[in-house]
Chain A
Amino acid sequence: MPRERCSLDREAIERELRRLFHLAADTPLPAPDLDDEELAEYVRKHASDPTPTEHATHERPALPHEYPTES
């Protein structure tokens, strides 16, 4: 256990979380079901399908210039 986890003040927790995230990020990802081109084709097909589906239960996210700003 790293020394930081012993004290566990806020900064130590933040350091530990960064360490854990980056350790996990070094782990190979599991193989996907579709290769990149198959996925791109799937996306093209479903993006142009106007029929609402279970996969369209949310509003389309705004573009960056449409994000609300803090007052």
Chain B
Amino acid sequence: MAPGQDQFSAFVAAARPGLRRTALFLIGEQHAAEDLVQETLIAVYQRWDQLRAPDAASGYAHHAMFRIFISDRRHVRWRRETLRAPADLPDPPTDGGYHDTDGLLEQVLATLPPRQRAILVLRYYHDQSVADTAKTLGCTSATVRSQTTRALRAARKVLLGSGSH
């Protein structure tokens, strides 16, 4: 095995759970999310010689996943198909605390275009600032602010429609 390969295997093992979680939030379907994780790791591996420091590799993987997600038309297509057939959304698993959300998060994310979904994941799951979110997505802070406002407006409709308010 070439030098650095053991480190890459260790990186995959360490980074994979976080990448899988983020991909699942972005895409909402396990197998497509696994594809996004694989594409992200391929991008990391192709830069591996420049990313030997664990922090650099983790940071690059995080950025790469979001860039791939918003630039890959397959993810847009998948989400459009989901929007046409909301009844086909997978049931929340019942072996954890996921059901406590009543599927609300999935409903919110499913109503959003990819960039807005990515912004919500970055801002409210990864707790990134507007500036850092803009850097991750390669857009301006003004775009992040305006897209956040639109996404929150859509989220509000879903949350209002969830009843008991």
Contact = CB atoms under 8 A, between A and B. Distances in A.
Q: B interface, how many residues as a size bin?
A: 35 or more
Interface string A55-71: 10111111110011010
Residue of A8, A24, A29, A40 with most chain B CB atoms under a 10 A cut-off? A24
Contact of A43 (B21, B24, B42): B42
B104 interface: yes
Contacts of A25: 21, 125
Contacts, number: 143
Contacts of A43: 8, 12, 38, 41-42, 45
Given A13-B155, A47-B46, A61 B97 contact: no
Interface residues of A, number: 45
B98 A27 contact: yes
Given A17-B120, A42-B38, A47-B46, A61 B93 contact: no
A35 B108 CA distance: 31
B96 interface: yes
Residue of A32, A39, A59, A61 with most chain B CB atoms under a 10 A cut-off? A61
Given A5-B165, A17-B108, A63-B60, A57 B72 contact: yes
B68 interface: yes
Contact of A67 (B63, B68, B156): B63
Interface of B: 5, 8-9, 12-13, 16-17, 20-21, 24-25, 30, 34-35, 38-39, 41-43, 45-47, 50-51, 56, 59-60, 63-64, 67-68, 71-74, 92-93, 95-98, 100-101, 104-105, 108, 120-121, 124-125, 127, 131, 134-135, 138, 140-141, 152, 155-156, 159-160, 162-165
Instruction: Please list the 3 inter-chain residue pairs (A to B) with the smallest Cβ-Cβ separation, ordered nearest first.
Output: A27-B96, A27-B98, A61-B67
